[in-house]
Amino acid sequence: MLSILGILLLALLFSLISLWRDRHPIWLHSSSSAPLPPSLPWLPILGSLLSLPRGPPHLALTRLAHAHGPVLGLWLGSHRAVVVSRAQEVHEVLIGQGRVFGGRPPMVTTDILTRGGQDIAFANYGPAWRLHRKIVHASLYKGGFGMEEIEAIVSAEAKELCAGLFGYCNGQSLDLTTELTCAVTNIICALTFSSGYSRTDPEFVSMLRWNEGIVRTVARDAPVDIFPWLRACLEEGSPPQDVLGCLLAAQHAARGDLRARHLTDTHLLMTVGDIFGAGVETTSTVLRWIIAYLVTYPKIQAAIQAQLDVMLEGAFPCLADQVRLPLLQATIWEVLRSRPVSPIFIPHVALKNTTLGGFHIARGTRVLVNLYAVHHDPTVWDDPEQFQPGRFLSSDGLQVTPPRPHFLPFGAGPRGCLGEALAKAEIFLLMASLLQTFTLSLPPQCPAPNLEGVHGVVLRPPPFKVCLKHRSTCA
């Protein structure tokens, strides 16, 4: 059995070999005429970890961008990386050179969760991935559910959500996390499994626990992803059978869409897992952020409700009402700007040598897009730290005008969010229904929610409670 000292020496040797392999000659002696980006100091094994400021990564990297510029080099263990923090360069990464920067880095945790990257979110870019994504998009929005069917499913769940909350209009306070998660989960289940659950269903509770485990695993910044030689220390467990049973049912229903021999059953199962895991966590988190801001800014909530009353006259909200409810839409956009659920995108990888912002980027470099910095750039946004839905409204307040390329909550280009249309429909219809039916407020003597957020695989608001009042009793 190796001693601790022996293990450390082997680790040091491995890291030095990796550093030499990665840095010589491409990184330090590029044949490109473009200069290298400014870079943080680094050490063997640790890379630049000791040079990173403390605090949530999106805030720490934003401070570094202010000090060193919008394209900053660093080392994550033996992996070279750049952080991109300005809209111009981010647009180039996602769209202008979307295929060049479309790769994904191999990471131990996600490789285990996706069985070697056999999904869409974490799989590497290539012909098989492009066909895979095209088939899934077609099955979601064309060959499978169109927007009319999606709207019907979301509207039905919005009615169920409001009906289930009537019992809380008695002065008691509650954390809406479970109710919102149940609503979004049922929408995803209807799309993928043709089934739904009550909030007390044991299978539903089991799925929530499984999904939370996935979120914690991906969010943990596992050392094994920075130091892959630690993989030998992992014991890979068996996958949860209850959720996979649901995924197998979805695979059977979608079998007609598998037209490529290299798209295996596992690819489809992992893809449905993407839709379920990412779709539930991100959308339910956005809903919680919107509610956190609305109870903190009750005048904005009241103005949205006034617009709902005038424009809908008691009719249940539909997607066509988005243009008639600009303040609600602008508030949703402002929440997505202020607190993007993915403040740092899943890492991209440069698939060949290229330039970005005038700097040489070597093949294999990991690219971290700091969306939080883009959404809080003071040269683009007036008072970016202030919550101002009006920034998304036209001068007459009648239209929503999201400014691109500075506003990218769903990403863009080849790696853009596949579920963007679904997520927008869910967020609008669920929030319009809630605000039409209830007034949301803070419990007596309760402080406003902490709006800084808790960093993980998504940026979440900390737990908070609200009181509900049915609007027919509001004077």
Q: How far apart, in whole angstroms, are the C-alpha atoms of residue 427 and residue 436?
A: 14
Residue 255 to residues 128, 139, 149, 154, 344: CA-CA distances in angstroms?
17, 11, 20, 25, 34
**Beta-strand relationship, 366-369 and 79-84:** parallel
Torsion angle defined by CA atoms of residues 9, 14, 16 and 18, in that order, rounded to the nearest 10 degrees: -170
| Closest of 326, 301, 469 to residue 396, by C-alpha | 326
Q: Find where tokens 């019992």 sit.
A: 167
Q: Which neighbouring-strand residues pair with 349?
A: 103, 366
Cα of first residue to Cα of last residue in the chain, in angstroms, is 75
Judge contact between 44 and 355, C-beta under 8 A.
Answer: no
Structure tokens at 241: 């059978």
- CA-CA-CA-CA torsion sign (386, 387, 388, 392): positive
Q: How far apart, in whole angstroms, are the C-alpha atoms of residue 434 and residue 183?
A: 12
Is 318 assigned a ligand-binding role in the annotation?
no
Q: Which residues are annotated as a binding site for heme?
A: 417
Q: Which residues are annotated as a binding site?
A: 417
